[in-house]
Structure 1
Amino acid sequence: MRANRRSVVRRTALAATGLTTTLALAACSQSAGGSQDTSAEEYPSKTIQFMVPAAAGGGWDSTARAMQKVIESEDVVSEPVEVFNVEGGGGATGLSQLQKSEGDPHALMMTGLVMIGALEQADSPVSLEDTTPIATLTSEAEAFVVPADSEFTSIEDVVKAYQEDPSSVTFGGGSAGGSDQLVVAELLKEAGAEPGEMKYVGYSGGGEATAGVLSGDIAVGVSGVSEFEGQIESGDMRLLAVSTADPIEVAGEEAPTLADAGYDVDFANWRALVAAPGLSDEQVDSVTAVIDEMHGTDAWKEQLEANGWGDFYKTGDEAQQYFADEIERVGALYEDLGL
């Protein structure tokens, strides 16, 4: 108990020596109790755990490991930082596991637009509303790619083939219902095609999606630019377009955009960090302070540049409101697209 909530019971009937002893014991009790007060415990007091609710190799995974690298190399905290993967359900499995750590500020999880869509499509009983928002971190354009020997040489070729026969084009990327499928749906809707007829293969991680493109299991791969850039640079994949209206550089060259091809689509994926539910305001402030310090380092800026990530940093009420707005927006988009 806190010192200001303690009282010393004075017994007037005690002898002077007894009174002295009682007061001395009370003082010792206050001192010992104070040393056990954990409400003001320095954060972190143990290993910080970043859960990636997907397979290794994807965007969440690379973001979490970049954060781990910066936090440890810049000595942001004195405790270790661990990254681990929990696959399944488009993030629902990991989200359910996070909820078991209620009240623990050391239990953190990567999330983003991908998870909102996946949970919406699965009509999941768990939601991002059941977490504690900490910060939005990055934004990234989506890339439409094909194997280097594909018959598709432009995004217009893909759209035309789909319009003639939707079953002839198989798209693939992250979990079904996530940002990768959403941006395809927006493109098809803008082109006047029916998104509901889309053949889409959802993979649990970026590594699997890359393998799916290169093996020919899917005709068109869709994911964050960073997940395909190495294969684009090596010549194993051909970049057809990126999803943002503003042009960006990919593998050393300016990338064509969906807008360049005449499709009015401006879409960016975003990633964020949440904590377990049930945190106090003081705990939220402590976690946010660590992420704030990481975000302010030159090392983090280097990670953003190296991975082609946009700086999309929001914390506090601004982050919480953004989460709420995105959950509402994606839900409406699903209804519009019939997904």
Structure 2
Amino acid sequence: MNWKTMMTATLLVVSLTACGTTNTKDAGTQEPASKYPEKPITVVAPSGAGGGWDKTARSLTKVLGATKLVDKTMTVENKPGGGGAVFLAAYATEDKNNPYKLFVSSPPILINNLKKEGNSPFGYKDTTPLAQLTKDYGAIAVSADSKYNDLKSLIDDIKADPTKLTFAGGSAPGSMDHLISILPAFKSGIDPKSVKYLSYDGGGEAIAALLGNNADAIGTDVSSLGSYLKAGKIKILAVTSTERLGGDFKDVPTLKELGIDAEFTIWRGVFGPKEMTKDELSYWDGKLKALSENEEWKKELQSNDWQSEYKNSADFASFLASQESVVKELLTALGMQK
């Protein structure tokens, strides 16, 4: 009996030890909980200072930090060149798995990839769309001392002699500011290729050109013009929204009001590298949704004349696919598609 008892006890101990060993091994093979982010994060504005991308990147990092939604240091870098195309080429190849570098963009990420001349081989599919945050509209503006007080007189002079007027914009030919600049002329029966367009590396430089009398008009996003309008430095002749905007822009007519059947919405969003992990994507899905609902962010939108338009990562990617078709149609109409 003693022998049998000892054998039973020994087998029981071996069995329990084996079970314990198996559980320990299984637990050890589980993926460790993600600690992302563990170091500072950079948000790139692919333009010079002063334009819509720059302002969006700075507002984004400011509010995420101030509200403690992100507890790591966030800094903004300006990477101008080619309306964002120069930055994206480097990002898509050198930072495709770097989750500590994000960037902001808008329709140029589609336009640069679809246009014929100076096009980029890279587009939104070489990134991970994280969220759309805002929507904005285009505007045609002139300096305060310009002889033009309405869009019709400007269009009439372009019709008479397109070579005598120059539009400035903060992005490359064929990109967003260029499309906004030529849109009213094109819809008024003018060959868009005849409209002179001078590109600068960012909205700030384009505005400086306008105020320095190096350009006759500017086509750009309306939100970047608010401070200049308040200061009495410019006149905005028209906006590309479907309805009149409020606040400081309440007296500015839409293109449709002026008999020009056109509109142009400027969305802005945040992008990450193509090879983000599920945990990294989930982190930003949560943080950017929380940002969109935060009161400090809503105040930031108001101060910059932006309208909230939040889409999460999945919805934003679907939206970009549909927008790609819209942009391709517009570029085709202008003879600029690749």
Distance in 2, matches of 1:338 and 1:33, equals: 57
One-letter code aligned to 2:290: E
- For residue 101 of structure 1, the aligned residue among 82, 89, 95 is 95
Deviation string 1:214-251 (CA, Å, 9 cap, x unpaired) is 01111011111221221211111111111112001353
Deviation string 1:189-211 (CA, Å, 9 cap, x unpaired) is 22111112111111111110110
Aligned match of 2:196: 199
- For residue 229 of structure 2, the aligned residue among 213, 228, 232 is 232
Distance in 2, matches of 1:325 and 1:253, equals: 30
Deviation string 1:271-291 (CA, Å, 9 cap, x unpaired) is 111110112333212221111
Residue 26 of structure 1, CA deviation:
9.6
Distance in 2, matches of 1:197 and 1:151, equals: 22
Aligned match of 1:299: 296
Residue 63 of structure 1, CA deviation:
0.5
Distance in 1, matches of 2:103 and 2:186, equals: 33
Aligned match of 2:12: none
SS at match of 1:256: coil
Distance in 1, matches of 2:318 and 2:177, equals: 23
- For residue 161 of structure 1, the aligned residue among 154, 157, 163 is 157
One-letter code aligned to 2:202: G
Distance in 2, matches of 1:112 and 1:133, equals: 11
CA contact (8 A) 1:103 1:277 kept: yes
Aligned residues: 321
Distance in 2, matches of 1:236 and 1:244, equals: 22
Aligned match of 1:133: 129
Residue 29 of structure 1, CA deviation:
8.4
Residue 253 of structure 1, CA deviation:
4.3
Distance in 2, matches of 1:89 and 1:182, equals: 15
Residue 49 of structure 1, CA deviation:
1.6
- For residue 112 of structure 2, the aligned residue among 118, 139, 161 is 118
Distance in 1, matches of 2:36 and 2:331, equals: 40
Deviates more, 1:299-308 or 1:95-104: 95-104
Residue 164 of structure 1, CA deviation:
1.1
Aligned match of 1:287: 284
Question: Does structure 1 residue 243 correspond to structure 2 residue 240?
Answer: yes
* Residues 43/335 of structure 1: CA separation in 2 closer, same or farther (3 Å cut): same
- For residue 214 of structure 2, the aligned residue among 217, 241, 254 is 217
| Identity level (%) | 29
CA contact (8 A) 2:41 2:101 kept: yes
* Residues 84/325 of structure 1: CA separation in 2 closer, same or farther (3 Å cut): same
CA contact (8 A) 1:90 1:119 kept: no
SS at match of 2:314: helix
Aligned match of 1:88: 81
Aligned match of 1:185: 182
Q: CA RMSD in A?
A: 2.6
Residue 32 of structure 1, CA deviation:
8.0
SS at match of 1:251: helix
CA contact (8 A) 1:134 1:287 kept: yes
SS at match of 1:94: helix
Question: Does structure 1 residue 64 correspond to structure 2 residue 57?
Answer: yes
Distance in 1, matches of 2:68 and 2:253, equals: 40
Residue 30 of structure 1, CA deviation:
8.2
SS at match of 1:254: coil
CA contact (8 A) 1:98 1:108 kept: no
CA contact (8 A) 1:51 1:85 kept: yes
One-letter code aligned to 2:38: S
Q: TM-score, normalised by structure 1?
A: 0.86
Q: Which runs of 5+ in 2 are unaligned?
A: 1-15
Deviates more, 1:54-63 or 1:326-335: 326-335
Aligned match of 1:7: none
Aligned match of 2:273: 276
Alignment of 1:258-273 (within 5 A): 258-273=255-270
One-letter code aligned to 2:122: V
Residue 168 of structure 1, CA deviation:
1.7
Distance in 2, matches of 1:282 and 1:106, equals: 13
CA contact (8 A) 1:230 1:251 kept: no
One-letter code aligned to 1:287: W
